[in-house]
Structure formats: structure tokens, C-alpha cells
């Protein structure tokens, strides 16, 4: 039975008891990357200490057990995401690689004049690969705008479809605004129009495993490092039929069926897209992170995270001269703001002197910054392991900014 005890869960993350410059760490940069629980750290140590071998090739004990653990990791994550049977899970480096894999695979299936619908709230990872694809194939891209509160203009998004629309790619949750898009409704609509759907789940899974059967997208991607797992591992879940119609993204060992000097045949997904030695310890760490997440009550966790974000927003409001970006009801615990008396970089630097880690800058979303007519924001992004002391440290830091620049 999943439970939620914030302080007990917080104790699972050794880094959170660290001090930075003599102040307790208040880690509010979870949108950039998450911290790791001890069980994930142990999983990596356990693999290298007791189980290390290459997979899919040796008959010896260690290779067999490593192969079994790697494939079990795939099954664990698929089950946690309720991935449909018709879809396969491919281990990649992260969301960025997953999207590049899909744009690369779709290249031969798209022709000049075909159209792709994106939104103005995409991370560069779900923007630039489509732009490059459009340049290579002569495609037309549509970029759909947002309402004042940072929610997607769904009417405009629906109106952008026509009989040349081949793909709609959109984020599940905005990394700058926190906006949660109605991904199941959007996927249904795009499918009715005959378009394929890619959903970027990088900022969604850290707030609880998604139900991929419920969403119904053709491709769903995310990164391990944002979901309490190691760096350099991520996931693409995609329709087997589509994936097997793609030419391989990378080639070499493990992805082949038969190699000869007269030609090579390839295996089907997932191996088709896992050329070379994969990140075995990363996959095991990611499965461990999903087992850990499986014990959390995510409804209670979201409430806790949102309470903290609201507290932080209230502290900011009390300063005056603060502008918020992303104020829709349906959002994750991200507070993006500008405090007009100080540059975001100076704010982040002063917060750092209080042990508070936030992100400042364009957040790899320059088209969104242009759209909002700003060059940067400060972003405080919360995870379930944050607590009120983190918000108090943030408020102390912001009052220091006020004293310094005010």
C-alpha cells in the first residue's frame, strides 16, 4: 500500500543532509535533475561490486545474471508505466536521445510539405530535432501559443491540424511553467486526425509514474536522472510496429541479426536500437528508482509539493515587484519568476549563499523565453523530499536579495 511520509522519504536521500557553505542544502533545482535515494546508490554499487559483466553475449554466470537483471529492469519499468503490450521499451541516454531516435526514424517516412505541430513550451530537446528534420525533409512546423496563465491554447492547437499533419509532439509538463498538458485528450484528438504523437514526459514522471495505456501516445520519452535514477539512462516507449519500421539509429554490436560482407540484417526493437554495450548499471538503477517510486502515494506527494510551491510563491508575493510565469491551476510544483530589482543570475547567486539551489537562465527553452518576452527567469522546482525548511531558506535568501538590491 503506497504511503507518503515526507520526512521519512527525505531521510532516504543522503545528499539532502549535506551543508553548502555552512548552510543546510535546500535543493530546489529538481527540474534540472533529481537527487538519488540510498537504494538507487546501493543498486549501482551492488552491480559493480558483485554483478558486473557485459550482457547478451557471455555464457558465464555473471553475464547470464547481468543479462537477466537488465531484461528484468525493462519489464519492471514497463509494468510501472502500464505500457501497452503493443509497445516496446528502449533504453537510451535520456529524453534528448529518445527524441532524436524518433526524428531520425521518421525521416524516411515524411515528405516535403508534411506538417508537424509543436508548442511554444517545448524544451530544446523537443524542438531542435524537429527543426533539423524539417530542414532535411522540407516539412512545415507549427508552433502553438499559450494563454496568459501558461496553459496551452488548445483551440489553436486543434485548429492547426490538416490533412498534411503527420506528427504532434508536445511536452507532458513544461519545465519552465509547470503546466500539465491534457496529454490523453491531445493524443486522442491527434490520432483522430491521423497524426502520430510523441509525448515528452521528462518533467512528468518525477511526480509519479505515468499510465501509458491511458495516454495512448505512439512515443513517450523521459530521462532517468530526473526520476531519482542515475545519469545517462533514459527511456523511449514506442509502438513496436512503428519502431520496427525505422532504420536503426545507431549500428554495431547487439542490434544485428546477421552480418556478412554482402550485407547486414537487423534485430527488432528493442535490441534494434540498443547498439553496443548499454548502460547496464543505469538500467538497473532506473528499475530500482521505479520500485522505490512504487511505494509512494503520488496523490499525497503532489499535494505536499504543491503546498511548498504555494508557500514559496506567497513569500515572493510579500516582496512586491515579482512576476510569475505559469499560474494555471493544473501544474506541477515549479515556481518560475522574475524579481524586477535583480537579475536572475544575481538572485540565484545570492540564494546559493543561503544553501539554496535554484536554476536561472533560459531553461533550454529559448523560444518560450522569446514568446514571454524575457531572456531568463529564476526557477524553484520542488520534489516530494523537499520540506518547509527549504522554503524558509528560500525566503531568507530572497529577503537578502531585497536588502542587497532594494
Specify the DSSP element, H or E, that contains 325.
Answer: strand 322-325
350 vs 359 by CB, closer to ligand PLP: 359
- Smallest gap, in angstroms, from Cβ of residue 254 to ligand PLP? 22
Taking CB under 6 A as the rule, does residue 175 contact ligand PLP?
A: yes
- Smallest gap, in angstroms, from Cβ of residue 339 to ligand PLP? 23
Kindly write out the interface string for residues 122-161 of this chain, putting x where it contacts ligand PLP by CB under 6 A and - elsewhere.
-x-xx-----------------------------------
- Are the C-beta atoms of residues 73 and 284 closer than 8 Å to each other? yes
State how far the Cα of 209 lies from the Cα of 219, in Å rounded to an integer.
15
- Smallest gap, in angstroms, from Cβ of residue 113 to ligand PLP? 28
Q: Identify the burial level of 102 via C-beta atoms within 10 angstroms of its C-beta, where 0-12 means exposed, 13-18 middle and 19 or more buried.
A: buried
Kindly write out the interface string for residues 50-89 of this chain, putting x where it contacts ligand PLP by CB under 6 A and - elsewhere.
----------------------------------------
- Smallest gap, in angstroms, from Cβ of residue 371 to ligand PLP? 16
Rounded to the nearest 5°, which phi and psi values hold at 83?
-70, 140
Taking CB under 6 A as the rule, does residue 223 contact ligand PLP?
A: yes
55 vs 95 by CB, closer to ligand PLP: 95
Taking CB under 6 A as the rule, does residue 96 contact ligand PLP?
A: yes
State how far the Cα of 129 lies from the Cα of 124, in Å rounded to an integer.
8
C-alpha cell at 184: 490523453
Q: How many residues bind ligand PLP (CB under 6 A)?
A: 14
State how far the Cα of 68 lies from the Cα of 83, in Å rounded to an integer.
20
Place of cell 537483471: 69
Binder of ligand PLP out of 171, 279, 377, 386 (CB under 6 A) = 171
The closest of 335, 301, 363, 380 to 150, measured between CA atoms, is: 335
Beta bridge partner(s), residue 87: 239
16 vs 364 by CB, closer to ligand PLP: 364
Binder of ligand PLP out of 202, 283, 335, 348 (CB under 6 A) = 202
Catalogue the E-assigned strands of 51-139: 87-92, 115-119
- Smallest gap, in angstroms, from Cβ of residue 203 to ligand PLP? 5
Rounded to the nearest 5°, which phi and psi values hold at 80?
-65, -30
Taking CB under 6 A as the rule, does residue 28 contact ligand PLP?
A: no
Taking CB under 6 A as the rule, does residue 104 contact ligand PLP?
A: no
Report residue 172 CA to chain centroid gap.
9
Rounded to the nearest 5°, which phi and psi values hold at 268?
-85, 170
Helix, strand, or coil (residue 392)? helix
Select the span of 81-89, 91-99, 155-163, 290-298 touching ligand PLP (CB under 6 A): 91-99
Residue 50 a catalytic site member? no
C-alpha cell at 49: 561490486
Catalytic residues: 364
Q: Which residues bind ligand PLP (CB under 6 A)?
A: 94-96, 123, 125-126, 171, 175, 200, 202-203, 223, 225, 364
Amino acid at each position: 500500500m503506497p504511503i507518503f511520509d515526507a520526512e521519512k522519504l527525505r531521510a532516504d536521500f543522503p545528499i539532502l543532509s549535506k551543508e553548502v557553505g555552512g548552510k543546510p542544502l535546500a535543493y530546489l533545482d529538481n527540474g534540472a535533475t533529481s537527487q538519488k535515494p540510498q537504494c538507487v546508490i546501493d543498486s549501482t554499487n551492488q552491480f559493480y561490486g558483485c554483478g558486473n559483466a557485459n550482457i547478451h553475449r557471455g555464457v558465464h554466470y555473471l553475464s547470464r545474471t547481468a543479462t537477466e537483471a537488465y531484461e528484468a529492469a525493462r519489464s519492471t519499468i514497463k509494468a510501472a508505466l502500464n505500457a501497452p503490450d503493443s509497445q516496446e521499451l528502449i533504453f537510451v541516454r535520456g529524453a534528448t536521445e529518445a527524441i532524436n531516435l524518433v526524428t531520425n526514424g521518421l525521416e524516411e517516412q515524411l515528405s516535403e510539405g508534411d506538417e508537424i505541430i509543436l508548442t511554444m513550451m517545448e524544451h530544446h530537446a523537443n524542438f531542435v530535432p524537429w527543426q533539423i528534420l524539417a530542414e532535411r525533409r522540407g516539412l512545415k512546423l507549427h508552433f502553438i501559443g499559450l494563454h496568459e496563465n501558461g496553459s496551452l491554447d488548445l483551440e489553436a492547437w486543434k485548429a492547426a491540424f490538416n490533412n498534411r499533419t503527420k506528427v504532434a509532439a508536445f511536452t507532458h509538463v513544461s519545465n519552465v511553467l509547470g503546466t500539465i498538458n491534457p496529454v490523453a485528450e491531445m493524443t486522442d484528438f491527434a490520432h483522430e486526425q491521423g497524426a502520430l504523437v510523441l509525448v515528452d514526459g521528462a518533467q512528468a514522471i518525477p511526480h509519479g509514474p505515468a499510465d501509458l495505456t491511458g495516454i495512448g501516445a505512439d512515443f513517450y520519452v523521459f530521462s532517468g536522472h530526473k526520476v531519482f535514477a542515475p545519469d545517462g539512462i533514459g527511456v523511449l516507449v514506442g509502438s513496436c510496429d512503428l519502431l520496427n519500421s525505422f532504420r536503426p539509429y545507431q549500428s554495431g554490436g547487439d542490434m544485428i541479426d546477421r552480418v556478412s560482407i554482402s550485407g547486414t540484417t537487423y534485430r527488432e526493437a528493442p535490441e534494434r536500437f540498443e547498439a553496443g554495450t548499454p548502460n547496464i548499471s543505469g538500467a538497473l538503477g532506473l528499475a530500482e528508482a521505479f520500485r522505490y517510486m512504487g511505494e509512494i502515494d503520488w496523490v499525497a506527494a503532489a499535494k505536499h509539493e504543491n503546498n511548498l510551491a504555494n508557500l514559496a510563491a506567497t513569500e515572493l508575493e510579500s516582496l512586491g515587484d515579482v512576476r510569475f510565469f505559469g499560474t494555471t491551476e493544473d501544474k506541477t510544483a515549479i515556481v518560475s519568476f522574475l524579481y524586477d530589482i535583480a537579475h536572475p543570475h544575481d538572485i540565484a547567486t545570492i540564494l546559493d549563499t543561503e544553501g539554496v539551489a535554484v536554476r536561472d537562465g533560459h531553461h533550454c527553452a529559448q523560444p518560450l523565453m522569446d514568446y514571454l518576452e524575457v531572456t531568463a527567469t529564476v526557477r524553484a522546482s520542488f520534489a516530494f523530499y523537499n520540506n518547509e525548511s527549504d522554503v524558509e531558506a528560500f525566503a531568507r535568501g530572497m529577503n537578502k536579495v531585497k536588502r542587497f538590491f532594494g
